[in-house]
Amino acid sequence: MKKGSKLFSVFKGKCPQCHEGDFFVSHPYDLSHLGDVRESCDQCGLKFSKEPGFYYGAMYVAYALGVATFVTIWVSLNLFFNELSTTIQIAFVIAGIFILGPILFSLSKIIWANMFIPFEKEAINNFNHSKSQH
């Protein structure tokens, strides 16, 4: 993954604009800060919340990630362990969603932000330049 791609920002948890600053307050399994997004990027100054309620739209992304996880687990179990009962398969799906939930929740927020915030190669230079003028 190269810096400048949306995948870099998503999988590294970096600012969508500069790909340098951290996007989240902590890691996904720090339950006291689950999915907490920093107020702004410490490298380029981008305010991560474009408007109040901006991340409500991430629910659609979280739903899609949840469905993809469900289908992946269900199909994998049916392909490799087709002798398992439906009850056991459902238990695996629930356990998988529960275990991966914090990651899916965090991923949904950073994917949503990357859908609306473009990468700008010179974002850090522009931010430092504007800070030095004040």
Tokens of 131: 């800070």
**Whole domain around residue 115: which residue ranges?**
6-132
pLDDT for res 122: 84
Please give the DSSP secondary-structure letter assigned to residue 36. Answer: P
Give the pLDDT confidence of 23-78 residue by residue, as tens digits.
Answer: 999 999 999 999 899 999 999 999 998 899 999 999 999 999 999 999 999 999 99
- With respect to residue 105, please indicate whether it lies within any of the assigned structural domains: yes
- With respect to residue 1, please indicate whether it lies within any of the assigned structural domains: no
Give the pLDDT confidence of 81-100 residue by residue, as tens digits.
Answer: 989 999 999 999 999 999 99
Dist. CA 74–CA 81, nearest whole Å: 10
- With respect to residue 100, please indicate whether it lies within any of the assigned structural domains: yes
Total of domains in the chain: 1
Assess contact for 77 and 91: CB atoms under 8 A: no
- With respect to residue 104, please indicate whether it lies within any of the assigned structural domains: yes
pLDDT bracket for residue 128 (50, 70, 90)? low
Instruction: Please tell me the number of Cα atoms within 13 Å of 118 on its side-chain side.
Output: 3
Assess contact for 21 and 44: CB atoms under 8 A: yes
Q: Which helix (H) or strand (E) holds 11?
A: helix 6-12
Dist. CA 116–CA 119, nearest whole Å: 10
Dist. CA 82–CA 96, nearest whole Å: 18
